[in-house]
Amino acid sequence: MFIQQAFKYQNDFWRYIIGVAIVLVFIIAGQLPLALAIFLEGGFEIAGMEQDEMLQLLDSNLNLFLILLSFAFGLAGVFLAAKVLHNQPIIALTTTRKKIDWGRFFFAFGLVALFSVVVTVGDYFANPDDYFFNFKPGPFFIMLFIAIIMIPLQTSFEEYFFRGYLMQGVGTLVGNKWVPLILTSVVFGGLHFFNPEVTKLGNIIMIYYIGTGFMLGIMTLMDEGLELALGFHAGNNLITAVLVTADWTAFQTNSLLKDISDPSMGWDVLIPVLIVYPVFLFIMSKKYGWSNWKDKLFGKVEKPEVLKPSE
């Protein structure tokens, strides 16, 4: 089992507490270049600025790179903590399989990418007045290069930290799977509370963020590895950043389209959580033959009698 294999390594819970501290230090270190760039551009006047005003001081491509840089630092912190504190190789933090299944990664990536393209193009033709064609070759291709490299690092950090490191750590502590599933999903969604989308659309959007955390957690537990979650998360964020941006989104990019509508959100936020996500899970369950849902999502996590580290 994905969580259970953490027992093969040094899994004392105090190690996870220190590991989280290490990750936080790495994230803060990764934020320093962004803070320095903003200060050099705006000087002491930034003290009276809102966050979105400060970010507008920088070129959008530079801003995108520096924001994503902190996640790359965070990913390095997760890998360092796993290696130094737990003597756990990356493969054991990723999957129960003997090697990472990149076919799973690209299947999930392609599935959500296709869905995102179809939905965005459909909405563009259905509501053309809501969009501005934003394509500028030079800035766009620079943004594309940054996004292809940096966004997978951002999403990989979130998956390795929440669905990998924390799910295994909490699961081995409490001895079951449903507590780490709920905890990591709620914390993952909760950290998006400070995104500008929440200010624009209201707190109800948190249902979407927490629901996304649950879907990625279910993928991980049912498939006994992170590959599907890694691919899905990377595909979703990358395609969204490339296709469309708006003044009120977390990523301000030189995308193909700019949403100039004044959006609002009500209970329609439930559509992806209650309809779209179950369809994705159904497709994956059929492709990969998932079974025994009750045990994989709510079963016990017991320490095996014979422990032998993976090669």
- The Cα-based distances of 154 to 47, 83, 106, 129, 150 in angstroms read 28, 20, 17, 32, 6
Check pLDDT > 50 for residue 310.
Answer: no
3-class secondary-structure state, position 87 = coil
- Give 54-104 pLDDT, tens digit per residue: 767 888 899 999 999 999 999 999 999 999 999 999 999 999 999 999 999
Contact 23, 162 (CB under 8 A): no
State how beta strands 131-133 and 257-259 pair: antiparallel
Question: Both tokens of residue 150?
Answer: 């940096």
Burial of 177 (0-12, 13-18, 19+ CB in 10 A): buried
Contact 204, 265 (CB under 8 A): yes
The whole-model pTM stands at 0.93
Check pLDDT > 90 for residue 252.
Answer: no
Mean pLDDT along residues 278-285: 98
Contact 40, 66 (CB under 8 A): no
CA 61 to chain centre: 20
Task: Report the amino acid identity of residue 146.
Answer: I
Beta-bridge partners for 244 = 257
